[in-house]
Amino acid sequence: MRDVLRIEDLVLKFRGYTGVTEVLHGISLNIRAGERVALVGESGSGKSVTARIVLGQLQELRSAQVQGGLYFEEQDLNRLSRRQWHALRGTHMSMIFQDPTSSLNPVFTIGVQFTEVLRRRDPKLSKEAAAKRAGELLNSVSIHDHARVLNAYPFQLSGGMNQRVAIAMALANHPSLLIADEPGTALDVTVQAQTLHLMHDLVERTGTAVLFISHNLGVVREFADRIYVIYRGRIVEQGPTQAVFENPRHAYTRALMAAVPRITGGGVPEIQDMDGAFFDPLEVHGEDRP
């Protein structure tokens, strides 16, 4: 099957006052059409910067140096002009952020922001047609009082509602890749569960591939088909979700799983301090790692 996204040996460095810091040490991953892939790791491991690189936003930063292959639907992203890359965002690839109340613009109503998104694909779309289309999209995320929501400002809606609006907007132009950066973290557990279910069904129906970024292993288990575990800018383990959860092979993955408190009880897990084995390459991938 064809890859929607392929990242090859991606290296990211930041130039700062104290010299150059390497943040990603050569990560490779691929996402096939319609596949839900999760990138799991702690804060600071390089999850979100990877997403920003795919969107082409970090490359615009003067202090960032990005090297490595980026292929989106068989086109080499590195060869695109800024303008071409800009045209891809919001149409062929889109993103959902962690905190919906701050990712939506507070000074425009939802309706205005929806029209803007829809006009990225079809600039001549009339206001009425946009409103109609927005209504259909809101239906798909189980929001049924369209008129109220479209005329509301983001701060007038609840967090869960805003996140559903953000999901509808992200999928409005039928992107082939959706990047979801911790989409449930800012919501409380019940709302998070509802939102993720909804998103799961929706991407399944539209056949959208998803790069799901999260630190929550439980959420990942329910959402993803395949996972990559990232630790300090290196991918330490990858595989189908079921296999990785049933039989984690890398020391870091095991520690990450052991650290999650269980609802079946058993007390607070005991965690060893930074284990040297976290840096050990996994034997199966030993040959392609330094």
Q: Which residues in 133-152 contact another protein (CB under 8 A)?
A: none
Compute φ and ψ for 18, nearest 5 degrees. -95, 10
Q: What angle do CA 156, 160, 165 make, to 5 degrees?
A: 75
For 26, the enclosing helix (H) or strand (E) is strand 19-32
**Using the rule CB under 8 A, is 259 a contact of another protein?**
yes
With the CA atoms of 78, 238, 12 and 73 taken in that order, what torsion angle do they form, in degrees rounded to the nearest 10?
10
**Which tokens go with 97?**
């952020």
* Site pattern 200..219 for another protein (x: CB under 8 A): ---------------xxxxx
Q: Which residues in 175-204 contact another protein (CB under 8 A)?
A: 188-194
Question: Cα 67 to the chain's mean position, in Å?
Answer: 21
Q: Which is nearer to another protein, 204 or 222 (CB)?
A: 222
Among 89, 120, 221, 232, binds another protein (CB under 8 A): 221
**Using the rule CB under 8 A, is 107 a contact of another protein?**
no
**Which tokens go with 257?**
């799983």
Separation in Å, CA 2 to CA 34, 176, 197: 10, 12, 26
How many residues touch another protein under the rule CB under 8 A: the total is 35
Q: Which is nearer to another protein, 69 or 269 (CB)?
A: 269
Compute the half-sphere exposure of residue 238: CA atoms within 13 Å on the CB side of its CA.
Answer: 14
Residue 85: CB minimum distance to another protein, A:
32
Residue 168: CB minimum distance to another protein, A:
22
Q: Which is nearer to another protein, 1 or 189 (CB)?
A: 189
The sign of the CA dihedral 187, 193, 194, 200 is positive
Among 69, 207, 240, 269, binds another protein (CB under 8 A): 269
Q: Under the rule (CB under 8 A), what is the footprint of another protein? A: 42-43, 159, 188-194, 215-219, 221-222, 245-246, 255-257, 259-271
